[in-house]
């Protein structure tokens, strides 16, 4: 009877806590099929016609199994490796000249949202028109916040505790029935029921008696919910830490770190133009014609370079067909943003590590070190001093700024003071 009373009093508390954890761990970010489609699909696919890839209208009808379709969308190359007997998938790959669709950083729920939008694109048209027009292609599936798993673990633990207490209560009642006898136990149980309260009434009374705690829990739930929504929104299109598998296991640590090869030896166009180039495999041969075996991977990875350039290490002749190395791009800005490598590297004298991190310490695989968001760029422009002294590019501008700020005695200027926060400098 005592345990029963304790249970009746404490059960509402335990269940209330379980509900709080459950709600706080829920993913409140709604999946917007229209925006996901524009972000991950629209650059290569149309719904009603061919583009780079096939039309997506009716795609679900063309696949026998939706699970296979989802796997194909998330990582088509892995699907082809895992399913050599899927004639339709391999035929599709051949039909489009073996063009590789990069792995998509999306989960099953997001794929379902995209497919739902493809079936009924008009439903998400309004949101799509109001959303960003950025098309980002990336090859990583972002990990869920570890906090979610901790919260789920707490919920499971609470449910187990509740189940154990419930079983203990049943066992005690059975023991009392055996000791007191059926009639005496029935009378005792009836008396307890009369004195007890229903669960709903007990919960209501408990909440009424603990208004401050209930209010605090409500505020906490609101804050957790808004935080989850904000985090979900701010993580869209952000691939910090993205580290895809590459066709060749290239280690920057070995090349830029241990062997101290300058970044611009391989990425030479970073000093000459907007883009930083992907080095040609023939550039690799400047060293690897002689270095045919590495300390980490032996001959395996260097042999892939030879295959790409058609080089025969036995005869030292380029007697084979050349094959492109299908590198996967890691750093990718939206089309609405303008970034010029030479402007930053030459005029701005910015070290590669400022944006890409200490690449000389990165082994395989290479990863995206910085978030590359607009806020990240703006902060850099606000905090970075322009290196004007001895830089002819800035001679005239420096003289103008010194004159402008002479009353304040400022002779060092940040990128912000030379127009680095003007919208048209980065968006066009």
pLDDT at residue 368, rounded to an integer:
92
DSSP calls for 358-415: -GGG--SSP---S---HHHHHHHHHHPBP--TT-GGGHHHHHHHHHHTGGGT----BG
pLDDT at residue 191, rounded to an integer:
59
pLDDT band at 198 (very low <50, low <70, confident <90, very high): low
Closest CA relative to residue 365, chosen from 262, 266, 253 = 253
More confident residue, 300 or 39: 300
Q: pLDDT tens for residues 278-329?
A: 899 999 999 898 888 888 888 899 999 999 999 998 888 899 899 999 999 9
pTM over 0.85? The answer is no
Q: Taking residues 181-210, report their average pLDDT.
A: 67
Q: pLDDT tens for residues 143-156?
A: 445 666 777 788 88
6 touches 14 (CB < 8 A) = no
Distance CA 16, CA 13 (A): 5
Count other Cβ atoms within 10 Å, centred on residue 67: 10
Distance CA 14, CA 3 (A): 15
**For the purposes of burial, counting CB atoms within 10 Å of the CB of 262, is it exposed (0-12), middle (13-18) or buried (19 or more)?**
exposed
What are the tokens at 351?
């070290």
């Amino acid at each position: 009877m005592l345990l029963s009373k304790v249970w009746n009093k404490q059960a509402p508390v335990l269940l209330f806590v379980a509900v709080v954890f459950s709600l706080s761990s829920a993913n409140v970010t709604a999946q917007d099929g229209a925006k996901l489609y524009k972000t991950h699909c629209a650059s290569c696919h149309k719904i009603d016609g061919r583009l780079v890839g096939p039309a997506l209208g009716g795609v679900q009808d063309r696949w026998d199994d939706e699970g296979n379709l989802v796997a194909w969308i998330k990582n088509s190359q892995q699907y082809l490796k895992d399913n050599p007997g899927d004639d339709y998938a391999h035929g599709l790959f051949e039909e489009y000249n073996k063009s590789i669709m990069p792995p998509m950083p999306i989960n099953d729920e997001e794929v379902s949202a995209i497919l739902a939008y493809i079936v009924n694109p008009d439903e998400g048209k309004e949101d799509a028109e109001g959303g960003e027009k950025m098309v980002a292609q990336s090859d990583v599936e972002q990990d869920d916040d570890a906090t979610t798993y901790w919260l789920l673990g707490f919920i499971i633990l609470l449910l187990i505790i509740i189940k154990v207490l419930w079983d203990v209560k049943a066992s005690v009642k059975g023991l009392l029935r055996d000791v007191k006898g059926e009639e005496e136990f029935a009378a005792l149980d009836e008396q307890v029921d009369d004195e007890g309260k229903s669960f709903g009434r007990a919960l209501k009374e408990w909440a009424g008696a603990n208004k401050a705690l209930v209010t605090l829990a409500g505020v906490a739930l609101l804050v957790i919910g808004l935080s989850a929504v904000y985090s979900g929104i701010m993580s869209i299109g952000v691939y910090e830490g993205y580290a895809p598998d590459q066709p060749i296991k290239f280690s920057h640590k070995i090349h830029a770190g241990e062997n101290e090869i300058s970044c611009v030896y391989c990425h030479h166009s970073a000093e000459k133009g907007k883009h930083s180039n992907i080095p040609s495999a023939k550039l690799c041969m400047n060293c690897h014609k002689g270095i045919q075996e590495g300390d980490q991977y032996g001959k395996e990875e260097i042999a892939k370079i030879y295959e790409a350039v058609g080089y025969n290490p036995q005869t030292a002749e380029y007697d084979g067909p050349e094959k492109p190395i299908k590198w996967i791009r890691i750093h990718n800005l939206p089309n609405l943003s303008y970034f010029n490598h030479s402007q930053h590297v030459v005029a701005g004298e910015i070290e590669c590590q400022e944006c890409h991190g200490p690449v000389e310490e990165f082994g395989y695989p290479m990863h995206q070190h910085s978030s590359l968001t607009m806020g990240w760029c703006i902060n850099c422009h606000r905090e970075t001093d322009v290196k004007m002294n001895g830089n002819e590019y800035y001679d005239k501008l420096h003289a103008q700024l010194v004159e402008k700020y002479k009353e304040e005695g400022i002779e060092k200027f940040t990128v912000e003071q030379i127009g680095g926060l003007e919208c048209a400098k980065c968006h066009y």
